[in-house]
Amino acid sequence: MIIGIPSESTDRETRIAMSPSVSKLLISKGFEVLIEKGAGLQSHFLDLEYESAGAKIVSKDEAYSADIIAKINPPNSKEIKLLKNGSVLISLMFAITNPDLIKNCATQGLSAFSLDAIPRTSLAQSMDVLSSQANLAGYKSVLLGGANMGKIFPMLMTSAGTIKPSTVVIFGAGVAGLQAIATAKRLGANVWVSDIRPETKEQVESLGGKFIEVEADDSIKTEGGYVKGVSDEFLKKQQQVVAEKLAIADLVITTALIPGKKAPLLISDQMLSNMKQGTVIVDMAVSQGGNCAGSELNKTVIKNGVKIIGEGNLPGTMPINASELFAKNIHNFLIHLTSENKFDWNMEDEITSGSLMVKEGEIIQDYLKEALSTQAV
């Protein structure tokens, strides 16, 4: 089976879906790997490294003519037309919010797997690109916040007096949040954490964080490890409880996302006005509307003396590690989906049935059919 790896055309994307080391691994298992010329340069992978691993360096058109196309971000409408009928696309798709992408895949006669739809199960952990990338993002969010603060993280005793440790407040104890907790604690900060799922308290405390408890209600809906819904009333109650901690925070990191929906607003204008001058907020949900009032995608803004950082692609600021992990996820996913040089198409398998959006031009997921029919009306 031939795997094509085109360059990423999305603005500010520095990652690539395949590393030289994983190319070598796939080739050893019978795959052929085609890399578009120069596609790995922004991830600091040279064409020569891919060739040394056994991959072939080709043009964009040749990369898109492969049996399997693996990307981080999905191809745009022009690029989709470069894929041959019957080929398989594997990428992040966020299908429910990208109906035109799904329609284009179907029109082109493709099969398409959405990496963000891989179920969050034990078996799928090694394929979970959202987790591997969020892990890196959580780490970088602390470093980015620290670089923009006017103080250090740890307590420091000096001849001129003692410096008190910084206070870090983290919204969300998912993969990104837990890595942010661990990183901030390693750097010596006091860490407070808020999450709408009470079951995360034990994980937070095991990393040295202090859990901000908010009484849960029936509006909280979780599925497969993701929060699917929460009421405005609960969010208001959460804001009231964490407002006290925000008032003393030096760094705030927000990570709350709801798949297929706008990110919930966790920090209002009123809460911003009560925060200390010089506080830094890293809004990790900015690409889906943001958790903080006033945050702007790929910009740093100052509001009421608070610096709000809206970096939309934190993993992309660490492209070497991010690309390597993404490539390993792709490898594990492909090995799971295929046998004897062909796809199994096993719809009894929850990983296949959950992540397959389109098969040979036919839209598979009922929720996508419904969303597209509603759009047509």
Q: Annotated active-site positions, please?
A: 120, 125, 128, 131, 226
Rounded to whole angstroms, the Cα distance separating 312 from 74 reads: 17
Nearest to 245 by CA among 307, 311, 192: 192
In the numeric block, which tokens belong to residue 39?
A: 């596609």
Helix/strand/coil for 280 = strand
How do beta strands 362-363 and 356-359 pair? Answer: antiparallel
In the numeric block, which tokens belong to residue 311?
A: 């970096």
Encoded amino acid at 313, one letter: N
Distances (CA, A) of 112 to 104, 117, 311, 354: 11, 11, 28, 12
Q: What size, in residues, is the chain?
A: 377
Nearest to 12 by CA among 299, 324, 284: 299
Helix/strand/coil for 73 = coil
Strand partners, 57: 35
CB 324 within 8 A of CB 21: yes
In the numeric block, which tokens belong to residue 221?
A: 């809906």
Encoded amino acid at 118, one letter: I
CB 352 within 8 A of CB 117: no
Q: What is the dihedral of CA 80, 81, 83, 85, to 10 degrees?
A: 120
CB 141 within 8 A of CB 314: yes
